[in-house]
Amino acid sequence: MITVFSADHALHQSPGELLYSEFVPAFEKPERAELILARVREVGLGEVRGPESFPLEALTKIHAPGLVSLLMTAHEEWSAMGRTGAAYPYTWAARGMRADRVPKNLDGRLGFYSFDCGTPITATSWQAIKASADVALTAAGLVSGGAKSVFALCRPPGHHAGADHFGGYCFLNNAALAAQKLLDDGAARVAILDVDYHHGNGTQAIFYRRNDVLVVNIHADPDQEYPYMLGFADEPGQGAGEGFNVNLPLPWGTEWPAWRAALAAGIQRVTAFAPDAVVVSLGVDTFKNDPISHFLLEHEHFTLMGGMIAELMKPAVFVMEGGYAVAEIGVNAVNVLTGFNDS
Ligand code: SS9
Ligand code: ZN
């Protein structure tokens, strides 16, 4: 399996995030991608190559131009105001406030285009964000060209980013960009299977009214877990998209048997959809030692997960998402890929 990777991921480095009343080191850090890459090499997964550079038009097929330009210029504007450090949003448009008008002020715009305060923009974040999107688009292009499976080693991750909002360590939705690229290259239907511990609210929102992309999410129950405000079982899709969104929330403490049953149900739904390709939003924060998560999967379950996904017999783009047990992230992520390959 080819891995697409860009060293530019390291240009995004969050200075930290608020965790209950403390400012703590970021969980989403550059070591994550480096350790996954090291494991890819260690097991001899296959060739590692850099991404092609795609035009901004590839991004605005999914994202609002206003979000893309904010990500590009926010830090420059921040510095021009005499501020140091990274650009963090702090105020948001709650019900009753104007959602039809983009604020002129930078702080207003940061809030308008985001949904949490844990996703800062540094002077060089844009280069990493763009590289991550390019990695996903390149991987999708390889699958369109006939590759059976490709690993997009994306960082920063993407599944929390919606058409017009960043958050949850995500800026652009790499999996959505990959799915759109597969469609633009000729696929009639694409399924996105999101196995990250957190609900992929951005991916769901992007495709909620569409029937050409089936979105299946297996994640911690939003009554207990971030992002709290989306990802419930009663979200089937809307309009033409009705029936094309599937949420399979599970409680804190979920172990492999129950997780596996949810995956089997998700896979059944994907099979019925008969997609031309599958995009897997590959988060490994379901691991038992993950510092911010509450599922209990073990190393070998990731291998089994890959094997189950292979049973779909569909071309697959694996897009890296979350996973914060950094020392073990390489083994867990690559176990999914070798499990897929070996079955
Ligand atoms: C940690 C807060 C978590 C965001 C989590 C995003 C995960 C992305 N106490 N906040 S996969
Ligand atoms: Zn996650």
Centre of ligand 1 to C-alpha 168, Å, is 5
| Whole-angstrom distance, CA of residue 155 vs CA of residue 178 | 14
Question: What number is the average pLDDT over the span 303-321?
Answer: 98
Centre of ligand 1 to C-alpha 231, Å, is 15
Nearest ligand for residue 168 CA: 1
Query: Which of 160, 225, 285 maximizes ligand 1 atoms within 8 Å of its Cβ, making it the mutation to test the pocket?
Result: 160
Q: Give me the sheet containing 149-152, strands edge to edge.
A: 48-49, 2-4, 149-152, 316-320, 277-282, 190-194, 213-220, 245-250
Which residues sit opposite 48 in a β-bridge? Answer: 3
| Whole-angstrom distance, CA of residue 331 vs CA of residue 302 | 9
- Contacts of residue 55, defined as CB under 8 A and 6 or more positions apart, other chains included, come to none
Question: What number is the average pLDDT over the span 199-220?
Answer: 99
Identify the pLDDT of residue 343: 87
C-beta neighbour count of 190 within 10 angstroms: 28
Query: Which of 18, 119, 226, 286 maximizes ligand 1 atoms within 8 Å of its Cβ, making it the mutation to test the pocket?
Result: 226
pLDDT digits (tens, 9 = 90+) for 174-193: 999 999 999 999 999 999 99
Percent of the chain with pLDDT over 90: 100
Q: Transcribe 280-342 into DSSP letters.
A: EEE--TTBTT-TT----B-HHHHHHHHHHHHTT---EEEEE-----HHHHHHHHHHHHHHHHT
Centre of ligand 2 to C-alpha 290, Å, is 10
**Contact (CB, 8 A) for 103 and 69:** no
Is the distance from the beta carbon of residue 323 to the nearest atom of ligand 1 less than 6 Å?
no
**Tokens 């909620």 sit at which residue?**
208
Distances (CA, A) of 321 to 85, 138, 276: 25, 16, 22
Centre of ligand 1 to C-alpha 283, Å, is 12
Query: Which of 12, 18, 23, 27 maximizes ligand 1 atoms within 8 Å of its Cβ, making it the mutation to test the pocket?
Result: 27
Does the active-site annotation cover 198?
no
pLDDT digits (tens, 9 = 90+) for 237-278: 999 999 999 999 999 999 999 999 999 999 999 999 999 999
- Ligand 2 (single-atom ion) residues, CB below 5 Å: 196-198, 283, 285, 322
Percent of the chain with pLDDT over 70: 100
pTM above 0.85, yes or no: yes
Nearest protein CA to atom 1 of ligand 1, as residue? 292
Is the distance from the beta carbon of residue 249 to the nearest atom of ligand 1 less than 6 Å?
no
Identify the pLDDT of residue 300: 98
The pair of structure tokens assigned to 45 is: 């997964």
Please determine, for residue 139, whether its predicted confidence score (pLDDT) is greater than 90.
yes
Centre of ligand 1 to C-alpha 158, Å, is 12
- Active-site residue, from 9, 63, 160, 199: 160
pLDDT band at residue 196, thresholds of 50, 70 and 90?
A: very high
Nearest protein CA to atom 6 of ligand 1, as residue? 168
Is the distance from the beta carbon of residue 196 to the nearest atom of ligand 1 less than 6 Å?
yes
Identify the pLDDT of residue 109: 98
What is the number of the ligand 1 atom nearest to the C-alpha of 283? 11
Centre of ligand 2 to C-alpha 226, Å, is 9
| Whole-angstrom distance, CA of residue 163 vs CA of residue 97 | 19
How does the average pLDDT of the chain come out, rounded?
A: 98
Residue 279: closest CA among 172, 182, 210, 188: 182
